[in-house]
């Protein structure tokens, strides 16, 4: 494989995740838009809300690893080289960050800052 073709990645993820892929893409787009709108509205980051979101992000990272183990044909014991461990860390990090952003946004729209 000499080139990185985005359509190949799309086909692989579609094969692994099925309809869940499109749900995840929709949540990512809607969550990001809601997060940006919240930041524009409040013009600040609430530290208490951020800490709660980061704690929830830890659970999100673990859940991302569980999902990865379910949809792939290998488990964590099959990880042999640095590239495998880098991918595991990347999946955890993306799950953590995505969950933290979604939780921060949910908490922000549910209970806005007092003006």
pLDDT in tens, 69-102: 888 877 767 777 888 888 889 999 999 999 999 9
Whether 105 maps to a domain, the answer reads: yes
Whether 47 maps to a domain, the answer reads: yes
- pLDDT of 29-74, one tens digit each? 999 999 999 999 999 999 999 999 999 999 999 999 999 888 887 7
Helix (H) or strand (E) holding 19: helix 19-42
In terms of residue numbers, what domain contains 37? 6-110
User: Which residues, including other chains, have CB under 8 Å from residue 36's CB and lie 6 or more apart?
Assistant: none
Whether 115 maps to a domain, the answer reads: no
Whether 75 maps to a domain, the answer reads: yes
Whether 18 maps to a domain, the answer reads: yes
Q: Note the pTM of the prediction, 2 decimals.
A: 0.85
Instruction: Please state the domain count of the chain.
Output: 1
Whether 1 maps to a domain, the answer reads: no
């Amino acid at each position: 494989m000499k080139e990185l073709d985005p359509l190949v990645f799309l086909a692989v993820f579609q094969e692994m995740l099925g309809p869940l892929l499109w749900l995840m893409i929709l949540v990512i787009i809607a969550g990001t838009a809601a997060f940006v709108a919240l930041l524009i509205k409040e013009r600040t980051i609430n530290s208490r809300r951020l800490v709660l979101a980061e704690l929830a992000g830890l659970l999100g990272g673990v859940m991302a690893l569980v999902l990865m183990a379910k949809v792939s044909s290998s488990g964590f014991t099959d990880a042999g080289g640095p590239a495998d461990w880098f991918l595991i860390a990347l999946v955890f990090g993306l799950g953590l960050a995505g969950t933290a952003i979604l939780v921060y946004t949910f908490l922000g729209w549910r209970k806005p800052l007092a003006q």
